[in-house]
């Protein structure tokens, strides 16, 4: 599978097969994450893969009982170790760097027959406590991971036309 096919195939998976994801597979995915770029190459991130049932249940509660979190055999937390750092443009590095890294994970997961779902709705304090994240760090995103309950195949996605979102030299209006 090439990158274009992975992009066309990737979608939010909210229903997972009753099948574990091996530690070896998770570590292989994180090799792709480890290679992601970051601002100033700081790599100011940490990741936690949660696979233990009680902790998964607590994450389900802390993420407002989202079905994908309940069904996934793995939930990954992306954590910024420097949540107040900014780029010269004034944008915080943590959310940008974590989005790049987790997108690497989501595309590599598709190639490996796995599905993911971005989870941005969660109780920050509860997740921070549950995962023993230092107070000065910040959980930026959760991502479910598992084998989809059904086939992943390229699909037509409902997206705006290219002319509405892209321009040369000036911003499209």
**Predicted local confidence at residue 163, as pLDDT:** 92
Query: Which tens digits make up the pLDDT trace of 75-98?
Result: 999 999 999 999 999 999 999 999
Query: Which tens digits make up the pLDDT trace of 11-60?
Result: 899 999 999 999 999 999 999 999 999 999 999 999 999 999 999 999 99
Question: Is the predicted pLDDT of residue 144 greater than 80, yes or no?
Answer: yes
C-alpha count within 13 angstroms, C-beta hemisphere, residue 138:
12
Query: 3-165 falls under which CATH superfamily?
Result: NADH Oxidase (3.40.109.10)
Question: Is the predicted pLDDT of residue 1 greater than 90, yes or no?
Answer: no
**Predicted local confidence at residue 151, as pLDDT:** 84
Confidence of residue 155 (pLDDT cuts 50, 70, 90): confident
What are the Cα distances from residue 96, in Å, to 57, 116, 159? 28, 18, 22
């Amino acid at each position: 599978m090439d990158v274009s096919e992975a992009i066309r195939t990737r979608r939010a998976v909210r229903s997972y097969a009753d099948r574990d994801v091996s530690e070896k597979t998770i570590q292989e995915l994180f090799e792709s994450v480890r290679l992601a770029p970051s601002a100033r190459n700081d790599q100011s991130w940490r990741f936690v893969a949660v696979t233990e049932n009680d902790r998964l249940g607590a994450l389900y509660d802390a993420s407002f009982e989202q079905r994908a979190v309940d069904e996934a055999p793995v939930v990954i937390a992306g954590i910024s170790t420097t949540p107040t750092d900014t780029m010269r443009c004034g944008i915080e590095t943590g959310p940008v760097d974590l989005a790049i890294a987790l997108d690497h994970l989501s595309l590599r997961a598709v190639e490996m027959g796995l599905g993911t779902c971005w989870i941005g709705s969660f109780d920050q304090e509860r997740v921070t406590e549950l995962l023993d994240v230092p107070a000065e760090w910040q959980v930026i995103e959760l991502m479910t991971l598992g084998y989809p309950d059904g086939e992943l195949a390229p699909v037509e996605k409902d997206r705006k036309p290219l002319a509405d979102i892209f321009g040369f030299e000036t911003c499209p209006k």
